Amino acid sequence: MATLQHVCSAPLVRAVRSRAALSLSSSAATSTSAPVKRAPAVDSRVLLGMSEQELQKLATDFGQQSYRGKQLHHLLYKTKAKEIQDFSHLPQTFRDGLRETGWSVGRSPVHRVVAAADGTMKILIMLEDSRLIETVGIPVDDEKGPYRLTACVSSQVGCPLRCSFCATGKGGYSRNLMPHEIVEQVLAIEELFNHRVTNVVFMGMGEPMLNLKSVLEAHRCLNKDIQIGQRMITISTVGVPNTIRTLASHKLQSTLAISLHAPNQKLRERIIPSAKAYPLDAIMKDCQEYFHETGRRVSFEYTLLAGVNDGVEHAGELAEMLHSYGRGYHVNLIPFNPIDGSEYRRPYKKAVLAFAAALESRKITVSVRQTRGLDASAACGQLRNEFQKKPLLEPSITGPQHSPV
């Protein structure tokens, strides 16, 4: 083994440095003038998130043939091995070399699973620093089409934007997630449901645009390695200055969803404090540019808050605003999902239908999001846990707990 380490140490250092340089270059390419909080330095010795080409290079750096990298790729993304000792198809010397030089798969344990009556599952994943993140699996099995399994993934531990109607912001903010911490959420959902994830939405805890570098790296892995089509992936944002243009430059075929929630700047600032730094007019101009760059229609999310933004007059104002910036927009209405200590109320169904009808009468395509996972606190805007600011000092359990609601 000493001989192996001696032979591999120099190439391995070069590989690690090469990957770090690539990461730095990618960071520079996606940097903006916005005050984006970056993810912690990614551990270059985490296997999850690496491409097949990178894994082949890693194998040859360890004195192995390149096809061992293909085997590694299969073990990570098909077999979904969680520990290097589970790489039974690899030579023992290769496995030992990976462990002894500090490599890990990058999978975290499931801390708890909460099940809703409608089949939705919320998973709490315990990260390496003992912080918890929430991800949601949403199954859809009806007569309208094939079975779908959507993974609603988090991009941060908590969220710094503190939107007034969202539980995540009320729990505080700890840090950005690293790319493998995003990817592993999808793998955890697949294992829980014993089914392939067909859709991914970046609508869990956090603001994806404040962690754009990690989100883009995770997006690449989800698309290329786990093989989820780009058009089956949605990136949602409240809006962070300059980042929509940066995202547009990557020309992804994924959906950009803007959390709008108000038809004018004054009301939007009341609901979303961060809106002061990114006026509605600026967001809409960036959305226009995004469409021209990518050819992809922008979707707008609008949470309906009873007596605040759910009136027919608000719908008329929203339609007028959208029409002033072009055609073909889609509005996704989300009736507010109750959270503890909130000043807001869920609107009556009659008000939701009236709002939708007012948009449709003005030639705006509209849909009403079906509430899923409400009884498991897994519905839109409800993700929050008590460990966002403080990590668990001592794990209270040794394995995942299932808590049917």
Query: What is the full DSSP assignment across 165-225?
Result: T-HHHHT-EEEEPPHHHHHHHHHHHHHHHTS---EEEE-SSS-GGGGHHHHHHHHHHHHHT
What is the C-alpha to C-alpha distance for residues 299 and 77, in angstroms, rounded to an integer?
30
Q: Which among 134, 181, 207, 217 is annotated as catalytic?
A: 134
CATH classification of 110-376 is 3.20.20.70, yes or no?
Answer: yes
How buried is residue 68: exposed, middle or buried, by Cβ count under 10 Å (0-12/13-18/19+)? buried
Burial 318-332 (b: 16+ CB within 10 A, else e): bbebbeeeeeebbbb
What is the C-alpha to C-alpha distance for residues 111 and 127, in angstroms, rounded to an integer?
9
Q: What is the pLDDT along the chain (405 residues), one digit of tens a residue?
A: 333 333 334 444 344 433 433 343 334 333 333 333 444 444 569 999 999 999 999 999 999 999 999 999 999 999 999 999 999 989 999 999 999 999 999 999 999 998 888 889 999 999 999 999 999 999 988 777 789 999 999 999 988 888 877 777 677 788 999 999 999 999 999 999 999 999 999 999 999 999 999 999 999 999 999 999 999 999 999 999 999 999 999 999 999 999 999 999 999 999 998 899 999 999 999 999 999 999 998 999 999 999 999 999 999 999 999 999 987 789 999 998 877 667 889 999 999 999 999 999 999 999 998 765 444 444 444 445 555 556 554 444 434 555 433
Return the pLDDT at 378: 41
What is the C-alpha to C-alpha distance for residues 200 and 151, in angstroms, rounded to an integer?
5
What is the C-alpha to C-alpha distance for residues 276 and 298, in angstroms, rounded to an integer?
22
Return the pLDDT at 246: 96
With H, G, I as helix, E, B as strand and everything else as coil, classify residue 343: coil
Report the amino acid identity of residue 27: S
H or E element in which residue 313 lies: helix 312-323
Q: Which of 180, 161, 178 has its CA nearest to residue 169?
A: 161
338: which residues sit within 8 A by CB, 6+ positions away? 345, 346
With H, G, I as helix, E, B as strand and everything else as coil, classify residue 139: strand
Burial 277-295 (b: 16+ CB within 10 A, else e): ebebeebbebbeebbebbe
Which DSSP letter does residue 292 get?
Answer: H
What is the C-alpha to C-alpha distance for residues 390 and 309, in angstroms, rounded to an integer?
35
Q: Which among 152, 159, 221, 380 is annotated as catalytic?
A: 380
Return the pLDDT at 386: 55
Q: DSSP secondary structure string, 353-386?
A: HHHHHHHHTTT-EEEEPPP-SGGGT-STT----T
Q: Global pTM?
A: 0.83
Residues belonging to the chain: 405
Q: Which of 253, 172, 242, 246 has its CA nearest to residue 205?
A: 172
136: which residues sit within 8 A by CB, 6+ positions away? 120, 121, 122, 123, 151, 152, 204, 373, 378, 383
First-last CA distance in the chain: 51
Q: Hey, which residues does 110 pair with through a beta bridge?
A: 125
Class of domain 2-30+47-100: mainly alpha
Q: Which of 209, 105, 198, 218 has its CA nearest to residue 149?
A: 198
Query: Is 159 considered catalytic here?
Result: no
The domains of the chain are located at 2-30+47-100, 110-376
